[in-house]
Amino acid sequence: MKDFAKLVLSQTQDHSEIKTIKPVSGGSINESFYLETEQQSYFLKYHDFAPDNFFYYEQEGLELIRSTNSIQVPEVYSYSDEENYAYLLLEWVEGTKATRTENQLGHLIAKMHQTEAKRHGVDHKTFIGILEQPNQLYNEWVDYYKECRLKRQLDIGIENHHLTGKRRNRFEKLITRLDQFIPKGIKPTYLHGDLWGGNWLVGPNGSPYVIDPSFLYGDRHFDLAFTELFGGFSHDFYQAYSEQNPPESYYEDVKELYQLYYLLVHLNIFGEVYGGAVDRVLKKYIG
């Protein structure tokens, strides 16, 4: 790995000696390393057989979030999607949580969600975990969510036999009735797309950072719903978010419907351990 790290660093302005390189935990897709040179510290993500543009889309998402002048993201120093040479080299982010860290996190995510776009979706494929997501741009969020998110997970679930029988029937009914639950006219805003508790960090001076986006334009409540699915966000976060950008009145009606997408992703990646949660959401909306 040291020879690989030297090759990666040759693509940057840092030509100093490597002092430390060691694996770090976190994530189930890439190998990750802490890399320290005489000049600075880095976070290196590596994948032997990354899909086409895998790291390109991740760095693009980080830069789009940076462009909102809201929540901080790590600096991207270099990346590659070449076979056997796929990596992403980032700034190493490390700090100690301050009293107002999670309050800042809520305000800054809310501010990111106030950056509006023209249409919902994105104009290229993205990835959620190891799953490829087809995308297009739509005028209405409900159409994007139906065509590019839920139908894709339906196809994968049928193929891997996680969506069968009553579960499949309920899901197909839900897709046909989606516009009964999701209103029209939702404004598209900049979204992280994979906003769970493991995808934010504490940086210098207690400042929050977000990492690992699966970027898209869409309903901001889609991000917000995922924060409530697996935890990792405090009361201070939600209070601060609401002060900056209060959720719309329909949020509670669609929250579990938006969480369903992420539950389906986990079902299709990790298996039946998430099946019960999927069934509970489908029963709530379809019966």
What are 190-233's pLDDT values in tens digits?
999 999 999 999 999 999 999 999 999 999 999 999 999 998 89
Positive or negative, the CA dihedral 194, 9, 26, 93 is negative
Alpha-carbon gap, residue 225 to 175, rounded angstroms: 19
Half-sphere exposure of 141 (CA within 13 A, CB side): 21
Task: Give me the chain's average pLDDT, please.
Answer: 95
**Quick one: pLDDT at residue 48?**
76
Which of 27-41, 51-65, 203-217 comes out lowest in average pLDDT?
Answer: 27-41
223: annotated active-site residue: no
Does the pLDDT value for residue 169 go beyond 70? yes
**Quick one: pLDDT at residue 27?**
60
246-266 pLDDT tens trace: 999 999 999 999 999 999 999
**Quick one: pLDDT at residue 37?**
96
Percentage, residues of the chain above pLDDT 90: 88
Listed in sequence order, the residues at least 6 apart from 62 whose beta carbon sits closer than 8 Å to its beta carbon are: 73, 74, 76, 211, 213
**Quick one: pLDDT at residue 83?**
84
- The stretch 113-120 carries a mean pLDDT of 98
Reduce the secondary structure of the chain to three states and give it as a string: CHHHHHHHHCCCCCCCCEEEEEECCCCCCCEEEEEEECCCEEEEEEECCCCCCHHHHHHHHHHHHHCCCCCECCCEEEEEEECCEEEEEEECCCCCCCCCHHHHHHHHHHHHCCCECCCEECCCCEEECCEEECCCEECCHHHHHHHHHHHHHHHHHHHCCCCCHHHHHHHHHHHHCHHHCCCCCCCCEEECCCCCHHHEEECHHHCEEECCCCCEEECHHHHHHHHCCCCCCCHHHHHHHHHHCCCCCCHHHHHHHHHHHHHHHHHHHHCHHHHHHHHHHHHHHHC
**Quick one: pLDDT at residue 187?**
98
Where exactly are the structural domains of the chain? 2-91, 101-286
User: Using 50, 70 and 90 to split pLDDT, how confident is the model at 28?
Assistant: low
In the chain, the N- to C-terminal Cα span, in Å, equals 53
**Quick one: pLDDT at residue 137?**
98
User: Using 50, 70 and 90 to split pLDDT, how confident is the model at 26?
Assistant: low
Query: Is 2-91 assigned to CATH 3.40.640.10?
Result: no
**Quick one: pLDDT at residue 84?**
82
Does the pLDDT value for residue 110 go beyond 90? yes
For tokens 């860290």, what's the residue?
101
Q: In the numeric block, which tokens belong to residue 73?
A: 């993201």
pTM of the predicted protein model: 0.95
CATH code of the domain made up of 101-286:
3.90.1200.10
**Quick one: pLDDT at residue 25?**
81
Out of 81, 194, 212, 223, which one is annotated catalytic? 194
